[in-house]
Chain A
Amino acid sequence: MKLQAVSDDEPRLGRLINIGLPYLWLGLFFLLPFVIVLRISLAEPALTQPPYTALWEWVDGMLEIRLNLRNLQLISEDSLYLQALLNSLWVALVGTLGCLVLGYPMAYAIATAPERQRVPLLMLIILPFWTSFLIRVYAWIGILNANGLLNGFLLWLGVIDEPLKILHTQTAVYIGVIYSYLPFMILPLYANLTRLDRTLLEAAADLGCRPWCAFRRITFPLTLPGVIAGSMLVFIPVVGEFVIPDLLGNPGSLMVGQLMWTEFFANKDWPLAASLAIVLLAILVVPFVIMQRLQQENEMN
């Protein structure tokens, strides 16, 4: 009998590749950029290429470090930035609640549908996602316009006498956000609802709990992780949303994503854009940590 002792090389090499390559990529192209953003947020704009001042310089053999807090000061003092930040958080909050109010019953209805119908119904939720996001947002311009379809329909119904101004208002942004992010709310909720043990509800009913009571006391508490996961998946990216407010929103009340875009492309103030990114990141850390926690707890089970 010929037996070879363990050759650990193969598994060890596999381990190195599995962990190492993605780690290297994400470290280089995801983590490192944030360090650079942080650095440039402390610089000043300049008419150079690239358009910001160096953070340190060798002057007469001495290292000169210039940290510039102009940007942070600007952001905290100019109400334009503060308002944009608040507006972004508000839109994200309304959008998240809107997705929840519409998405929860939908996820519930799909999860309780006969087994054969569930996959097609879910497919229909995911399908719009495969068509261009930009084009789907654009479609709403045609619907919300003063002479668009919604107004035409309402006028025809006789509900209103003259066209409502919906496009280029906050309402349009809310609609756009709910429309675009609804699947992100439904999917985790659906996953959570299908995992729910049906016998718990039967037990609750058996113990004298009526359907609404069963929902309030059993179903909802048990699907809370799904609610939070879905809410974070909507809230976090919406805070930094650019396309929806840019195409549908009121140019008078900007969101922070739009500001970053403008500072960067129009005003060429890269350091200020970087500072806005840092502020935005700092705000998003809390919901992000909540999401991460939840995910890890989920894996424990």
Chain B
Amino acid sequence: MANGTPSRRPLEPWQDPKARPYVRIDRVTKRFGDIYAVDDVTLEVYQGEFFSLLGSSGCGKTTLLRLLAGLEYPTSGRIYIDGVDVTEVPPYFRPVNMMFQSYALFPHMTVEQNIEFGLRQDRLPRRERMERVNEMLELLRIAPLRKRRPDQLSGGQRQRVALARSLAKHPKLLLLDEPLGALDKRLRENTQFELVNLQERLGTTFITVTHDQEEAMTMSSRIAVMEAGQIRQVDTPTAIYEFPNSRFVAEFIGSVNLFEGKIIDLQGDDVLIEAQFGGLMRMRSLQPHPIGTPVVVAIRPEKLRLCPTPPNNGRVNQLQGVVEDIAYLGDVSIYRIRTPSRLLVEMTLTNTQPRTEQVLTWDQEVWVEWSPTSGVVLTD
């Protein structure tokens, strides 16, 4: 999985206590009838960020985006953009533009007219409008399409026109609802990088909604993982992947092995855990937990090590089992190992050597081990 983000400034704004958030969502709730689409959400996004709202369908991410656009008004709570309370400001007065999931291109207007639409509303003089339109057509490399109508465009072209239209007014904040959702896989991967480059060039703050974790990991400065109208974790892609704060986030992003157990001893930065599978685990814990706390240890499949013989680490952080499943994916192989306690452990190995013969075979007895810093200790 590609989880590297482009390198950024040394001190990120969200780490800087003096930085002022560009968008501030303050305890916002949106209710439709009995359903809490957005439930007491507080969130701060800084100037120049590429921020992603990530969650499965129905988690409230799109509603949150629509609240920012002014297409919905919150049931309670306030929304500030650039320090101004915009909670009750209608969409046509907000300094925000949105790219719709369906693109919402006006079918009765040409590409040019679509891009020009927002500028007309600002009553810009014609010359300026044309300059902006040309700028956008250049920026997104769609100048040859200017006289076409939306139904004469391919999916990828429509996506560019929609992006051009929403950027034409030079908004400080651009909202993108599943910006790549309607594209096929190949196109999507190319467009991801283009979108990031564009955002860095323009310096516009982007908030996007996506259900595709890979997409969120590739593009974002930070990700908010949402579930049932609430934000479960806000962090950089790396932190979300390496240090999930809950079982939900750990399972939502990538694959993970979860070992349940109970803390039986504290040893400096580490805790000693009696695992349900019958062994002991010694793990680095970021938060202090008292003895007796039930915990879950989350370890990513690629952080596990495979040993053909019993490891020599005093029966801590190890498991014994047999290979039940092997899935060869080309670059990596996934192994599923069944322990005597019926636990199924997943691990991945990079195929560094050209593989002409199996290193491991089905039903082979193996040992799995890991280091105290290879996973996180979670309490829920």
User: CB within 8 Å of B: which residues of A?
Assistant: 1, 3-7
Contacts and interface: CB of A to CB of B under 8 A. Distances in A.
Interface stretch (B88-96, B258-266, B366-374): B88-96
Contacts of A3: 84, 86, 89, 93-95
B82 interface: yes
A3 B88 CA distance: 10
* Chain B: interface size category: under 10
Contacts of A1: 82, 84, 95
Contacts of B84: 1, 3
Interface in B62-112: 82, 84, 86, 88-90, 93-95
A4 B95 contact: no
B88 A6 contact: yes
B93 A4 contact: yes
B105 to A, nearest CB: 25
Contacts, number: 18
B80 to A, nearest CB: 11
A6 B86 CA distance: 9
Q: Which 7 interchain pairs have the tightest Cβ spacing? A: A6-B88, A4-B93, A6-B90, A3-B89, A3-B84, A5-B88, A1-B82
B20 to A, nearest CB: 14
12 contacts: A1-B82, A1-B84, A1-B95, A3-B84, A3-B89, A3-B93, A4-B89, A4-B93, A5-B88, A6-B88, A6-B93, A7-B90
Interface of B: 82, 84, 86, 88-90, 93-95
A7 B90 CA distance: 8
A4 B85 CA distance: 10
Report which residue of A3, A4, A5, A7 has the largest number of chain B beta carbons within 10 angstroms of its beta carbon. A3
Contacts of B86: 3
A288 to B, nearest CB: 31
B92 to A, nearest CB: 9
Contacts of B82: 1
A7 B89 CA distance: 8
A6 B94 CA distance: 10
B275 to A, nearest CB: 48
B31 to A, nearest CB: 19
Contacts of A5: 88-89
Given A1-B84, A3-B89, 11 more contacts: A1-B82, A1-B95, A3-B86, A3-B94, A3-B95, A5-B88, A5-B89, A6-B88, A6-B89, A6-B90, A6-B93
Contacts of A7: 90
Nearest to A7: B90
Nearest to A6: B88
A251 B84 CA distance: 80
Nearest to B172: A1
Contacts of A4: 89, 93
A54 to B, nearest CB: 52
A58 B90 CA distance: 59
Nearest to B84: A3
A49 B89 CA distance: 61
A9 to B, nearest CB: 11
A4 B82 CA distance: 14
A1 B85 CA distance: 12
Contacts of B93: 3-4, 6
A222 B224 CA distance: 45
A226 B221 CA distance: 54
A218 to B, nearest CB: 31
Nearest to A11: B90
B90 to A, nearest CB: 5
B143 to A, nearest CB: 31
Report which residue of B82, B84, B90 has the largest number of chain A beta carbons within 10 angstroms of its beta carbon. B90
A1 B90 CA distance: 15
B79 to A, nearest CB: 12
Nearest to B95: A1
Contacts of A6: 88-90, 93
A300 to B, nearest CB: 15
B87 to A, nearest CB: 9
Contacts of B90: 6-7
A38 B82 CA distance: 65
B27 to A, nearest CB: 20
